[in-house]
Structure 1
Amino acid sequence: MSAGRFAGARVLITGGSRNIGRAITERFAAEGAHVAINTVVEGEAEELAGLLRTGSRRAIAVPADVSDPAAVEDMLARVESELGGIDVLINNAAVPMLGRVPFFDLTLAEWDRQFAVGARGTYLCTRGAAERMSDGGSIINISSIGATKAHREAVAYDATKGAIEAFTRAAALELAPHRIRVNAIAPGAISNARYQGEDPAVQQAEVTPIPLGRAGTGGEVAGLAAYLASPEAAYITGQVITIDGGLSVQARQATAEIALVSEREGSA
């Protein structure tokens, strides 16, 4: 990590106070960026901004519902006013997949909320930020392996992530003449507060199919985001980068096959 790689850069992270979003916020701040932290949770962004603010590094909280066009415009105007512009946008805000919802139990309200925050919010923030990127910039959208490898009972969540990946490619094409790069990151199983609070047996069941044998960390996703926003990735745009410990590259293993492999490894 280079402590000054993003010195002076202005970075807006939506959903930037928890889990992956917090890790990304902390990574850019550690590398010298001025950060604007968005959330809808009262007080969270303010607390994190206070921890990250130093004499030379600015950190501000910009609470807003990213599905609301007026709120997004106010947020972006404030970031521009207080930080002087926007160089990097991380579209991380999402409705989390906290529980499984069978297909016929999914309500239209739940469907609409997923798309409002995930897809609509990504579009609104991207458009507004791109208009303020006077000297080029980098936009990174957070997707999920669920965009291409469906979760059971998560139709709205996975469909939203699929829309984000299609939007990433289309926006990259449209914004390339303005020297704005648009990429996406598709994480697999990432350790967070929910995962860490599960029974160890449940945790083990979740990571058993992963070739690297563990969940990823928010810090690892943040490292990839920092790379994609950096000059080292200046020729990368329109791409979706998967970070899942190899989960999505393998043929499906049935539970019985996994158990057999584990038994063989245990007796080797």
Structure 2
Amino acid sequence: MPTNATEGRVQGKVAVITGAARGMGRATAERFAREGAKLVLNDQDQGPLDDLVQQLENIGAQAIGVAGDVSSEADIKRLMEEAVSTFGGIDILVANAGIIPEADLASATVDLWDHTMAVDGRGMFLSCKYAAAEMVKAGKGSIVCLSSISAFAGQKGQAVYGPAKFVASGLTKHLAIDLASHGVRVNAVAPGTIDTPAVAGLGKDGIEKVVSMHPLGRMGKPEEVANAILFLASDEASFITGAVLPVDGGYLAQ
């Protein structure tokens, strides 16, 4: 497919994506751009966002970058306000921003726990809260949260990250019920080990170990997660809400 080709599965829809500058967030932004979305992209630093916006504009997409900390209520309110003032509303939220700390119970500190819950938990809550407020006004919308296999299967070294991803899955199910009567769907994807910069930090031995746990025998690609996010965000999933879709090479089937 040419890089500027558009299938139109989210044509004209306004999509806010947090943590968009790299990894799965970037792959999702690129896929949504090819599918015709108007993009409001968030990450911590403006520079990488500007680079991504330029790349997407080069293929004909409409996009803006709004730097901010997802754990800051003021920053999230500003993000959603920018989406509304620029494009007139919010149709889709991809609550992707997060960190992946490695720590067992003995080595985990209270500060690490608080920081992880602030980004992965509070940040997702705030993103959903303020995006949903705009969707409720319009009587429609779709939210996709980023959960993880760590929200369903116990793993060594995940005493902090795993519980934070339980927040993602829990929010998904409870918000799906809260928002259903307003025409807003809430779903999640639960990736396995995906080839992102964050995972590269595990080192060769760590990566080989986690890859061996996936029946398909490899890491996933960010684009494969983006495909699942696109499906759940689009009208193709119009009768799906409260679902958490594994994108994990068979990990959770064992």
Change in CA separation of 1:147 and 1:44 when aligned onto 2, cut-off 3 Å: same
1:162 and 2:156 aligned:
no
- The match for 2:186 is 182
- The match for 1:237 is 241
- The match for 1:117 is 119
Q: Give TM-score, length-normalised by structure 1.
A: 0.87
CA distance in 2, matches of 1:193, 1:102: 21
Displacement after TM superposition at 1:209 (Å): 2.4
Q: Give me the CA root mean square deviation.
A: 1.9
1:189 is matched by which residue type in structure 2? T
Displacement after TM superposition at 1:42 (Å): 3.8
CA distance in 1, matches of 2:250, 2:59: 42
1:185 is matched by which residue type in structure 2? V
- The match for 2:29 is 25
- The match for 2:130 is 128
2:113 is matched by which residue type in structure 1? W
Higher-Rg member (1/2): 1
Deviations 1:128-176 (A, max 9, x none): 1111121401000001100111221221110010011111100000000
- The match for 2:154 is 150
2:141 is matched by which residue type in structure 1? G
User: Residue 216 of structure 1 is aligned with which of 185, 200, 220?
Assistant: 220
Report which stretch shifted further, 180-189 or 126-135.
126-135
**Matched ranges for 1:89-128 at <5 A:** 89-97=93-101, 100-128=102-130
1:65 and 2:69 aligned:
yes
- The match for 1:3 is 7
CA distance in 1, matches of 2:170, 2:198: 29
CA distance in 1, matches of 2:145, 2:43: 16
Q: Give TM-score, length-normalised by structure 2.
A: 0.92
Change in CA separation of 1:77 and 1:165 when aligned onto 2, cut-off 3 Å: same
Q: Is the 8 A contact 2:46 2:65 kept in 1?
A: no
Aligned residues: 248
Change in CA separation of 1:87 and 1:194 when aligned onto 2, cut-off 3 Å: closer
Deviations 1:242-261 (A, max 9, x none): 111111211xxxxxxxxxxx
CA distance in 2, matches of 1:179, 1:202: 43
Q: Is the 8 A contact 1:11 1:89 kept in 2?
A: yes
| Gapped regions of structure 2 (runs ≥ 5) | none
Identical-residue share of aligned pairs (%): 38
SS at match of 1:95: coil
User: Residue 13 of structure 1 is aligned with which of 10, 14, 17?
Assistant: 17
CA distance in 1, matches of 2:9, 2:142: 14
| Gapped regions of structure 1 (runs ≥ 5) | 251-268
